[in-house]
Structure 1
Amino acid sequence: MRSFSNLWYWIALAVLWSTASHYVLGVPYDMAHKAAHEGGEKMKDVESMIRINIGRILNIAEVSGLVMIGLVSGILTILFVLGAFYGVELAQAIFLMALPMSILGVMSIKTAMKIRENNPTGLALISILKRHRFFTQSIGMFSIFITAMWGMYQNIATGPLGG
């Protein structure tokens, strides 16, 4: 299963990071951007969506956080071992998508906790969303770069027929 030479893998990677950077804590970024410029009812809508989404995020983290940490750690460990020690390219490809997304998940929980503690409104809330989006995009760019370098290495090392 050649993942790094498959166009669908690269499309999936692009869609993954595009979606992750567009939906900041479950709120479309264009909606937050409009709310920052226009205020009023749009700002109230963003504030309501954020309150709902951070409630969901934190409820999931509180109710099943330990189980999720165990499952995600186990899956990441299995993918790493299969990819690094057994050379399974599919495991390498999934690991290079899953590890940064798990980091983003932890970052989202921390941001949600910060919003719940400080209860910001208006432009202060938009500022937190902008900072979260910036770090999401930074992680995404770094992840795509590392994945592209590893993918090129794999394609060169294994050749066109995978042998």
Structure 2
Amino acid sequence: MQWYETIFELIDMRSFSNLWFWIMLAVQWSMTSHWVLGVPFDLVLRARRSGGQALEDLEAMARVNVNRLLYITHVSGLWIAGFVAFILTLLVVLGFYYGIEFAQAAFCLFCPMVVVSTLSVRSAHRIADGDHRGEVLVRRLVHLRMGTQLIGMIAILLTSLWGMYQNMHIGVLG
């Protein structure tokens, strides 16, 4: 047996039957729902509960991250949108037309994150336009987190259904 056959046997290249794919999916959504606009959600809860210095820290951190996100969006937003559209199209064609499971798995990871990123940019614009202080900011960040978690739950459900279908389909064919 060749060394590359041993490696590919050790590392299952079929994504949906690979434990590492599911661990990465769980970590991705855990991190995404914890860091809302670059602000850790425990800081949002602490600011809501106690106010004072925690609220000032939240406002400062949100201001810095919102300004950074909006700067990146204004400077290179069209390029990023074009590149993301190209990558999504490439993954759809490779994954669902040509049947490459790795591209399907990458699409299942990447596409919902595009939706979350769009939602984050929208929230950043709203925060910059006036919802940037006190309870209004906290409420905006809580709503963004709830939206992110809803997208995550739907994405995990659809990914798991598609993964089970792929595993059963390959199990029947293989």
State whether TM-score is above 0.5: yes
Partner of 2:164: 152
Partner of 1:24: 36
Partner of 1:110: 122
**Distance in structure 2 (CA, Å) of the matches to 1:73 and 1:119:** 30
Q: Which has the larger radius of gyration?
A: 2
Q: How does 1:1-163 map to 2 (within 5 A)?
A: 1-159=13-171, 163=174
Please list the CA deviations of residues 29-74 of structure 1 after superposition, one character each: whole Å capped at 9, or x if unmatched. Answer: 0111011110001100000000000011001100110000000000
Q: Alignment length, in residue pairs?
A: 162
Shift of 1:119: 3.9
In the alignment, structure 1 segments of 5+ residues that lack a partner are: none
In the alignment, structure 2 segments of 5+ residues that lack a partner are: 1-12
| Partner amino acid, structure 2, of 1:40 | G
**Distance in structure 2 (CA, Å) of the matches to 1:110 and 1:36:** 22
Identity of aligned residues (%): 48
**Distance in structure 2 (CA, Å) of the matches to 1:46 and 1:146:** 34
Shift of 1:118: 1.2
Normalising by the residue count of structure 2, what TM-score does the alignment of the two structures yield?
0.91
Structure number with higher relative contact order (C-alpha < 8 Å, ≥ 6 residues apart): 1
**Distance in structure 1 (CA, Å) of the matches to 2:43 and 2:132:** 17
Normalising by the residue count of structure 1, what TM-score does the alignment of the two structures yield?
0.97
Segments ≥4 residues shifted beyond 4 Å? none
Is 2:55–2:134's contact at 8 Å kept on the other side of the alignment?
yes
State the superposition RMSD in angstroms: 1.1
Shift of 1:147: 0.1
